[in-house]
Structure 1
Amino acid sequence: MTQHARVVVIGGGVVGTSALYHLAKLGWKDCILIERDELASGSTWHAAGNVPTFSGSWNIMKMQAYSARLYKTLGEEVDYPMNYHITGSIRLAHSKARMEEFAHACAMAKAQGLDYDMLTPAEIKAKYPVMEMDGIVGGLWDAHDGDIDPSQLTQALAKGAKDMGAKVLRFNGVTSIKQLPSGEWKITTKDGAEFVAEKVINAAGYRAGEVAAMVGQYLPIIAMQHQYLITEMIPELAARDEKLPLVRDPDVSYYLRQERDGLILGPYEWNCKSDWHDGIPEEFAFQLWPDDLDRLESYIEQAVARVPVLGTVGVQKVINGPIPYSPDGNPYIGPQHGLTNFYNANCFSFGICQGGGAGKTIAEYIVHGEPEWDLWGLDHRRYTVFADQKYTIEKAEELYQNEYAIGFPNEERPAGRPRLKTPLYEKLLAKGAVMGARGGWERAAYFPRNPEEAKTKLSFHRAEQAWFEPVREECQAVAERVGIMDLGGFSKFIVEGPGAEKWLDHLICGALPKSNRVTLAYTLTPKGSILSEFTMTRLAPDKFYLMSAGSGLWHDMDWLTQHLPADGSVKLTEVSQSASSLVLVGPRSRDVLKKISAADFSNNAFPWPSCQQIEVAGRKVTALRVNYVGELGWELHVPMEDLVHVYDAVVDAGQEFGIRDFGMYAMECLRLEKGYRSWKQDITHEYTPFDAGLERFVKLGKGDFIGRDALVKRHEAGEKERFVPLIVEGNTADAPTCSIVFKDGEKVGIVGSGGWGFRIGKSIALSYVRLDLAAVGTKLEVEILGQRFPAVVAEEPIFDPKNERLKG
């Protein structure tokens, strides 16, 4: 007999049961969780159970803080007692840079209402008297941190869900998943039971890749071996009235917390190991790998030196269990690429502290269509075809080794690269380019004057970074002469057909471009928030060329595909790898092009912003008179097979004008001066176009479009925030993302992007601030790495406000 459900959740760990619980809380009670073994039999049961709120990400911090709040009251709410100890935690710092990282996290946490504090060595000693303080310069206190019993937590979530009407089916693994013509999913289990569900959540932990394979998808996931040891009873701890706080020593790379009257030590070792490259054993559940303490020897020695009582007793138990890792260590939460009504909530390397917030988020995706927080950085679609198993293994191991590494700006880690590259890759390397990968695509980050200068030199302070002086010269070349950049990796689509115009007009909130013209266009969520940004060009009355962020390829492809009309009047073709974009910009860019093309590049013949099909150096290219740096210039969209030829011709023609290659870091500095928004950094689905200062791209009177009614309602209710550029004074480090903006000691805003503008010689922080403080000239403060600096709201754009250089 086939059973029906609104949602089937596959996997009964903390995340799966949290998803079921939160679905029921939102009123979707006709839901079933299917677990192949007992609840918590995957990574959950052997997890250390730490519950930090700390994160370098604003929204991951929100997600973890939500978990901590939920766990405080869950046991009482569902009448299932749990062992949850809120002890607080200390993170140790051995360097000034680590303290700066902590100060930034502390500011974020306080802005979210979390009780964080910076600690002196003496304050650390007072909270942790059995610690030796040699080499410690300070630390960070998180009052909300602690530990919980993972299995009890899982059972409590399951009980809460069942009490509200949801069902849990154990010891019956899923063997088949097929989508029906209705769009529903048919799930078959090991004992032959069949379920038909509107939606499916893959919450199968380290087996999530197996579940994805059942629906023809590859999920970049690998199991890492994570070891921790539990000591015998320590008399000094048994004599204490209170548990010691949890300690993390990120500069050494371990955590240490009290477990009853002993200690748990868990390192993230450099000599790490991934496993199950050829598949997971069928019967692996509630099992562990043999311990391998030799890999942990140096970490144990350093932890004993820091907390000597650790070395006074023996080891009672060693846990060596599988933890799922993605290439960047972040989980997968959200829709599955290429499918409808199929979702991910898996690959959690920190599942206990994130489980509560993850369940909330995936339930909101399903019930409301979008979650409260924009968690694009946790969407599996951030990885496209480039993330195969080899890449996943290499990046996961690199991440594990750097689990506690300082989050410096512009660190380009090498593992797993290169994956996607244009034909210019080797030529740019030969010129000394330092490369960076974005969305899998290799792009030049900057060109050092001397390759030796390219050696890693990491700092939060701009002048201490290896790229700063070379990027100054690149920006100068763009502003005064001419620069060229190979910008491969845009997401590109051709939309054509008799229904193309009507369809696109319904998708975007603004006006469509006229013939051979270019515009920015925004798609919205049904709630009126910004979903995606496209550079849209009309190539013909019924043919359009769309470009969006390279990292958003599958995100945008899914949105476009799922909204295609059923009558076949619109044809959508993805052409991202067919061409690259040569960005040629600067006051002499027109002079360069005139030497190698017969086209007329004058303002009358080729105005800004427009498009023409032209020949450059004898090759056909699509030329757009737009760019992301705010200077006279063109984007030359060149077929990959012609890219080297056209690039060489442009560079040769540009020699007399002082042409110079420039990279992503220069482009970033230049776009900040123009206030050009960055997708998922400055604009997210938490903001409307009116919040983001993009009302010029909204046409409420044009007729219906997706999100219009919600946008009108929100706009009529009034915006509370506004996107503005801030000029910051006196700072040697530019504002990291999510730095906090203050007025008279009160939090009034948050930074999206920060950096240095070489053309204006000032530090810029593109920010959302309270609406009443958004007027040009308003004086504010921005907290950067623990210190507040004066800032003032500037006119937008800061540089060339009348766009005279673009139109020159």
Structure 2
Amino acid sequence: MTVLPNQARAVIIGGGVVGCSVAYHLTRLGWRDVVLLERKQLTSGTTWHAAGLIAQLRATANMTKLAKYSQELYGSLEQETGVATGFRRVGSITVALTDERREEILRQAAMARAFGVDVDEISPTEVKARYPHLNIDGVRGAVYLDKDGQGDPGNIALALAKGARQRGAVIAERTKVTGVTRADRRITGVDWQREDGSHGHIAAEHVVNCAGMWGRELGAMLGVNVPLQACEHFYILSEPIEGLGPLPVLRVPDECAYYKQDAGKMMLGAFEPVAKPWALGGIPEDFEFDQLPEDLDHFEPILEWAVNRMPMLGEAGIHTFFNGPESFTPDDAYHLGLAPEMDNVWVAAGFNSIGIQSAGGAGMALAQWMEDGEKPFDLGDVDVARMQPFQGNRTYLARRSTETLGLLYADHFPYRQKATARGVRRSPLHAHLLDHGAVMGETAGWERANWFALPGQDRAYAYSWGRQNWFANAAAEHAAIRTGVGMYDMSSFGKLRVEGPDAEAFLNHVCGADISAPVGRIVYTQFLNPRGGIEADVTVTRLSETAWLVVTPAATRLADETWLRRNLSERIAVITDVTAAEAVLAVMGPEARALMQAVSPDDLSNAAHPFGTARQIEIGMALARAHRVSYVGELGWEIYVSADMAAHVFETLFEAGADHGLKLCGMHVMDSCRIEKGFRHFGHDITCEDHVLEAGLGFAVSKTKPAFIGRDAVQRKRDEGLGARMMQFRLTDPEPLLYHNEPILRDGQIVGYLSSGNYGHHLGAAIGMGYVPCKGETVDGLLASSYEIDIAGTRVRAEASLKPLYDPTGARMKA
């Protein structure tokens, strides 16, 4: 029996492939006192029955970087440890059966090239040549990645475990964590017990939750929120097929299926559109290498498609029908990183059936984060801090998980909205917006009006890679903001009140800009990390001598609050989330002043209420705080009003708006207007690995403050010069659409990819933003080049600019 130490630098809980990867990578960084505790036997939860598909291409550059790392690691792991991993680079093929899917995979292929992944577009005939057993009827196109592979999931995990042991890690099986000790925001140690009754305690500097489908329950024990739900996952294995040799992994997402050759047999797996959540009342205590009852009725539609697509399946017969549980998260992205509720609890769980291909990279990234105390690069897609507290609710998880499994193979249309577990968080104006035709989307649980349907128009999305059914609606809303006046609901944006005797010094420590401004001044700023990267993009409004309001994007409110709390140190200040206390209505456009003056007796002239200031005003019979600021590049105000008076203020503005051409607008138009103006979008254009100066936001960083987080990195970059610049692009052809991740070509060579894209209705073409390397170059040299954007394999010429293409001087906002 493994002897356990009394203390450890890191205790990892969970012995699947992810836990083994974290142990492997921590010890590779030199951590020796690492302990991994597994309740039963290594791999006995979900790893042992995983399909073992190892693909490189993911939805973003950094997720692709992690997946590429996994396949490279697995390629060398057997030589290092002597454990056969079964890893083979057999390649992979994804086929499209519809024109929309073909557009998707061709856009993915273009994206792959920008990310440095080898990928080839192949014809149906070429698919048949590589996969002779496939019925190619209806195949519209395909892509092939030659370095993708497959491996033995259990042995990959055991190889990682052996590598960790060789460098000093202690791995104990049949050792369950039964409790923890806690001091404030830290877990000080874990209690363990073995099946023979022996027990003990390990004092721990760090605790890592790698418990897989037990991650939510373990998270509750550790005091952190880890929203995930186990779902049934099905595959079948055929009888041996004579002469069946190596084949690429095959994905047919339009039929919810994947195929792989496995020791002379054919495996068929499925991600069905409506999944079956499992163990809603808790996972059985004795669960170990278990499988769930067969459900052929549930699987039958996919099997019928598969027999048609792969006729030899119908001839060979079924050797094994397997049903095993895997964990899924509310947004189909795994959970990684430092939990926001605690200062030494880390999470690597909820891998949505891609645990094998993700484990190597996820383990590497988390270990490096633990070593350095900061993210090695942008991990916002998977950072556990993106999850809202309510998302751990069991009813919510049960409803959402019926959808998320199937979304893995659904069409990944732009603007696609989740259909399940909706309506959890609603603005005080929700019913009013619905009354006027709002079509809702969802962000961080908030229901938000994305666009407004006309009378008689279907209030639903008709998804496409082309112009969707709301394109004309958005164009009209866009025109209202640019030429008249539009109003939209911003209540979902995060609002953090920071107050106390040290609030000013604290915010000046965290923010790049100087927030020591007069009462009523609004300061646009960023929270920077020590590398000069952007952790948050916010406005800070001084409410009084000792109180400030920090306004954040809805999706990052918790992460931004966590950043503030972790940097508070011994300073005396109170941070309060007041998001739900106030509704916010944005009134924007050249006619905004006329409308506002019609409902308020206060002087709203430029002299009385200049840009960048906030003050209390009267609207109708209510009191509100009017912030003169804009994310759409027009004259306007954001009206903050207590939730109890929000409906009255909406009604007052809406009724008066009839005389001013007021149009209700949605979030899609806020985005299309901001991209015309060149305003950055956090999470896309600016992230923790994007230097604030290269993002073009040097104007928002103080040159005189003596000290703040990131100051030294900013000064170094000023001294050394920029290595890249954020640029704005306007397509010269008005027809194509941009979303994000499309490759940027400079003088015919790929130099980067778009961080965001949308249609510029006023500018008359799609607009994109992205970074272009420029080390040692002048601005004139950068702009002298010719630029193209690769859209699904077609290069489209683009006009490039460093200044905003719309109103470059900002005169309209300040009018």
Q: Give 1:773 shift.
A: 8.1
Higher mean alpha-carbon deviation, 409-418 vs 627-636, is at 409-418
Q: Give 1:48 shift.
A: 1.0
How many residues align? The count is: 801
Secondary structure (helix, strand or coil) at the match of 2:127 reads helix
In the TM superposition, 1:358-397 aligns within 5 A as 358-387=362-391, 388-397=393-402
1:535 and 2:539 equivalent? yes
Going from structure 1 to structure 2, the CA distance change for 1:73 and 1:340 (only over 3 Å counts) comes to same
Do the aligned partners of 2:478 and 2:669 also contact (CA within 8 Å) in 1? yes
Residue 432 (structure 1) aligns with: 437
1:707 and 2:715 equivalent? no
Secondary structure (helix, strand or coil) at the match of 2:517 reads coil
Residue 223 (structure 1) aligns with: 230
Do the aligned partners of 1:432 and 1:451 also contact (CA within 8 Å) in 2? no
Do the aligned partners of 2:461 and 2:470 also contact (CA within 8 Å) in 1? no
1:461 and 2:470 equivalent? no
Residue 96 (structure 2) aligns with: 93
Q: Give 1:37 shift.
A: 1.1
Q: Give 1:645 shift.
A: 0.3
1:803 and 2:810 equivalent? yes
From 736, 757, 764, the counterpart of 2:739: 736
Secondary structure (helix, strand or coil) at the match of 2:580 reads coil
From 405, 412, 418, the counterpart of 1:407: 412
Distance 1:6 1:135 in 2: 56
Distance 2:638 2:767 in 1: 26
Residue 356 (structure 1) aligns with: 360
Distance 1:185 1:715 in 2: 42
Residue 257 (structure 2) aligns with: 254
Letter in 2 for 1:206: M
Going from structure 1 to structure 2, the CA distance change for 1:342 and 1:739 (only over 3 Å counts) comes to same
Question: 4+ runs of 1 displaced by more than 6 Å?
Answer: none
Q: Give 1:457 shift.
A: 1.7
Secondary structure (helix, strand or coil) at the match of 1:559 reads helix
Distance 2:767 2:185 in 1: 51
Secondary structure (helix, strand or coil) at the match of 1:711 reads helix
Distance 2:812 2:456 in 1: 33
Residue 180 (structure 1) aligns with: 183
In the TM superposition, 1:752-771 aligns within 5 A as 752-771=755-774
From 630, 643, 646, the counterpart of 2:646: 643
Letter in 2 for 1:394: R
Residue 791 (structure 2) aligns with: 784
Secondary structure (helix, strand or coil) at the match of 2:255 reads coil
Distance 1:286 1:130 in 2: 33
Distance 2:612 2:479 in 1: 24
Residue 192 (structure 1) aligns with: 199
Q: Give 1:513 shift.
A: 5.3
Q: What do residues 255-304 of structure 1 show as CA deviations (whole Å, max 9, x unaligned)?
A: 01111111000011234211111111111011111111221112111111
Give the gaps of 5 or more residues in structure 1.
Answer: none
1:598 and 2:601 equivalent? yes
Do the aligned partners of 2:481 and 2:589 also contact (CA within 8 Å) in 1? yes
1:41 and 2:44 equivalent? yes
Residue 575 (structure 2) aligns with: 572
Residue 141 (structure 1) aligns with: 144
Q: What do residues 43-72 of structure 1 show as CA deviations (whole Å, max 9, x unaligned)?
A: 101111111123223222221111001100
Going from structure 1 to structure 2, the CA distance change for 1:396 and 1:82 (only over 3 Å counts) comes to same
Q: Give 1:402 shift.
A: 2.6
Letter in 2 for 1:664: M
Distance 1:379 1:260 in 2: 37
Do the aligned partners of 1:327 and 1:393 also contact (CA within 8 Å) in 2? no
Q: Give 1:370 shift.
A: 2.5
Higher mean alpha-carbon deviation, 661-670 vs 79-88, is at 79-88
Distance 1:640 1:626 in 2: 21
Distance 1:776 1:626 in 2: 30
Distance 2:802 2:225 in 1: 47
Q: Give 1:28 shift.
A: 1.6
Secondary structure (helix, strand or coil) at the match of 1:520 reads strand
In the TM superposition, 1:342-353 aligns within 5 A as 342-349=345-352, 350-353=354-357
Percent identical pairs in the alignment equals 35
TM-score (ref. length: structure 2): 0.96
Distance 1:422 1:585 in 2: 19
TM-score (ref. length: structure 1): 0.97
Residue 481 (structure 2) aligns with: 478
Do the aligned partners of 1:329 and 1:396 also contact (CA within 8 Å) in 2? no
1:232 and 2:235 equivalent? no
Letter in 1 for 2:435: A
Do the aligned partners of 2:88 and 2:149 also contact (CA within 8 Å) in 1? yes
Letter in 2 for 1:398: E
Residue 553 (structure 2) aligns with: 549
From 736, 745, 749, the counterpart of 1:746: 749
Higher mean alpha-carbon deviation, 631-640 vs 728-737, is at 728-737
Give the gaps of 5 or more residues in structure 2.
Answer: none
Q: What do residues 401-444 of structure 1 show as CA deviations (whole Å, max 9, x unaligned)?
A: 23211211112232111111112111211211110111211111
1:634 and 2:634 equivalent? no
Higher mean alpha-carbon deviation, 143-152 vs 56-65, is at 56-65
Distance 1:36 1:134 in 2: 48
Letter in 1 for 2:130: K
Q: Give 1:181 shift.
A: 6.1
In the TM superposition, 1:651-690 aligns within 5 A as 651-690=654-693
Do the aligned partners of 2:747 and 2:785 also contact (CA within 8 Å) in 1? no
Q: Give 1:715 shift.
A: 4.3
Letter in 2 for 1:454: R
Distance 2:184 2:585 in 1: 44
Letter in 2 for 1:405: A
Going from structure 1 to structure 2, the CA distance change for 1:513 and 1:600 (only over 3 Å counts) comes to farther
Do the aligned partners of 1:736 and 1:784 also contact (CA within 8 Å) in 2? no
Secondary structure (helix, strand or coil) at the match of 1:264 reads strand
Going from structure 1 to structure 2, the CA distance change for 1:156 and 1:2 (only over 3 Å counts) comes to closer
Letter in 2 for 1:290: P
Going from structure 1 to structure 2, the CA distance change for 1:504 and 1:264 (only over 3 Å counts) comes to same
Do the aligned partners of 2:498 and 2:547 also contact (CA within 8 Å) in 1? yes
Secondary structure (helix, strand or coil) at the match of 2:442 reads strand
Do the aligned partners of 2:57 and 2:117 also contact (CA within 8 Å) in 1? no
Letter in 2 for 1:546: V
Distance 1:526 1:198 in 2: 23
Distance 1:182 1:253 in 2: 43
Higher mean alpha-carbon deviation, 150-159 vs 365-374, is at 365-374
Higher mean alpha-carbon deviation, 114-123 vs 179-188, is at 179-188
Letter in 2 for 1:68: Q
Residue 693 (structure 1) aligns with: 696
Distance 2:335 2:255 in 1: 28
Going from structure 1 to structure 2, the CA distance change for 1:423 and 1:112 (only over 3 Å counts) comes to closer
Going from structure 1 to structure 2, the CA distance change for 1:714 and 1:293 (only over 3 Å counts) comes to farther
Secondary structure (helix, strand or coil) at the match of 1:783 reads strand
1:607 and 2:610 equivalent? yes
Distance 2:805 2:641 in 1: 32
Do the aligned partners of 2:223 and 2:342 also contact (CA within 8 Å) in 1? no
Secondary structure (helix, strand or coil) at the match of 2:390 reads coil
Distance 2:784 2:462 in 1: 36
Residue 17 (structure 2) aligns with: 14
Do the aligned partners of 2:224 and 2:342 also contact (CA within 8 Å) in 1? no
Distance 1:555 1:653 in 2: 38
Letter in 1 for 2:647: V
